[in-house]
Structure 1
């Protein structure tokens, strides 16, 4: 709080007195204006983060660091996540576009803790196993303390194959899972090419293993090789 000391203006010109009070007013009003701008900015970012995280768990705690006091006011703040494909959990950086044309960009730091459920292995799961519902269990905790690559949703785990053994009680990392093979190397497969007025199907030999939406090389005859995308068991499509 600003403390005011007694000032003796005896013998001082009116202009000097007016200048003194003008300077005093700028010292008082400017910090209040900056504080109001910062409060509006942090409130907007806090609301944005809550909207992004409220569906992840049962309780959300957001600790947002205040913006730097050395930066100019952020008008019409529009928050965004630099990594839109990653859930905002733990320590995250939040981008904010400022100004009418949003040309100014600044970043704020936040700690986001979400208490909620996450899937773990209910038993030891060997490598190469297709995961079923019975192999999963549910635990509750701070999702922000988990690895950023942890797959917490059971629905996103079921049906996938394990790339390595998973111990009982362990979480599932994205690199631990792979889509089930729909095409195996050396298998006879059907490759479909279609457009607005045509549809052609050819039979060839898969040169790679592949899961859903993965690209696989297919050999036709002895020389022709084409790459196609897996869309079903033993069926691939050529993307134009």
Structure 2
């Protein structure tokens, strides 16, 4: 009888352990699925916020995370290339955990339906582009080259560096800002700081567009760099 009681007690303990293991183990797949869904939802919302100003319609398709990776808690998405619009095939970085030390990357396809500009006429090389030379189109912006300029503000006032045919999109390397300073021109160079502002006349050694830094000569051995800020005017950056 004592043996039977001991055997029954051992069976009860084993049964309880099995039930405990089943109880603890069962929620794990559900928890992982919920965490992955939270990760996808967070990245989806992030990409939507980054693209909502680019067009009238946005379609986002995110590849699911690898099942071999641990859950990403408190996901914080970011764009590895912040200077490029998230259109087309996009890689999204995600920092995981409270300290954000764990980083993983998800792949997404982002299609944006919106308007973009094209040449409304044939444009010759060296032409200063005006708004009357442009036309608008509508389509999937992800089909355009990553170098395509889609807004009028990025094109008007630039100079064509090569012939551009009517209906063509504008590529960044097709255009250049007009020169505000020409080589050999007498220019005014301004230097300013806390409590002072001085100017000096010199000779530009190269052409320069707004924002470009060029060399200016003030004498036989006095040459320095200055940034173009206006027509014939430059600024020394300290």
How would you bin the TM-score normalised by the shorter chain?
over 0.9
Which deviates more from structure 2 when the two are superposed, residues 19-28 or residues 149-158?
19-28
Partner of residue 150 from structure 2, selected from 124, 149, 152: 152
> 2-side partners of 1:126 and 1:225: how far apart?
37
Partner of residue 130 from structure 1, selected from 128, 131, 136: 128
Deviations 1:104-157 (A, max 9, x none): 111100000000000100111111111100111000010011111111011111
2:97 matched residue in structure 1: 99
Matched, 1:191 2:162: no
How many residues end up aligned between the 2 structures? 229
2:227 matched residue in structure 1: 229
> 1-side partners of 2:100 and 2:157: how far apart?
43
Deviations 1:20-65 (A, max 9, x none): 4444445531110000000111101100000000110010000011
1:37 matched residue in structure 2: 35
1:115 matched residue in structure 2: 113
> 1-side partners of 2:21 and 2:162: how far apart?
69
1:178 matched residue in structure 2: 176
Q: CA deviation at 1:101?
A: 1.1
Partner of residue 45 from structure 2, selected from 40, 44, 47: 47
1:220 matched residue in structure 2: 218
Matched, 1:202 2:200: yes
1:4 matched residue in structure 2: none
Runs of 4+ in structure 1 off by over 6 angstroms are none
> 1-side partners of 2:160 and 2:21: how far apart?
69
1:78 matched residue in structure 2: 76
RMSD of equivalent CA atoms: 1.4
Q: What is the DSSP-based 3-state SS (H/G/I as helix, E as strand, rest coil) of the residue aligned with 1:95? A: strand
> 1-side partners of 2:28 and 2:58: how far apart?
34
> 1-side partners of 2:171 and 2:23: how far apart?
58
2:66 matched residue in structure 1: 68
> 2-side partners of 1:196 and 1:46: how far apart?
47
Deviations 1:148-169 (A, max 9, x none): 1111011111001111111111
Deviations 1:65-116 (A, max 9, x none): 1111111111111110001111000000001111111111111000000000
> 1-side partners of 2:186 and 2:49: how far apart?
48
Q: TM-score, normalised by structure 1?
A: 0.91
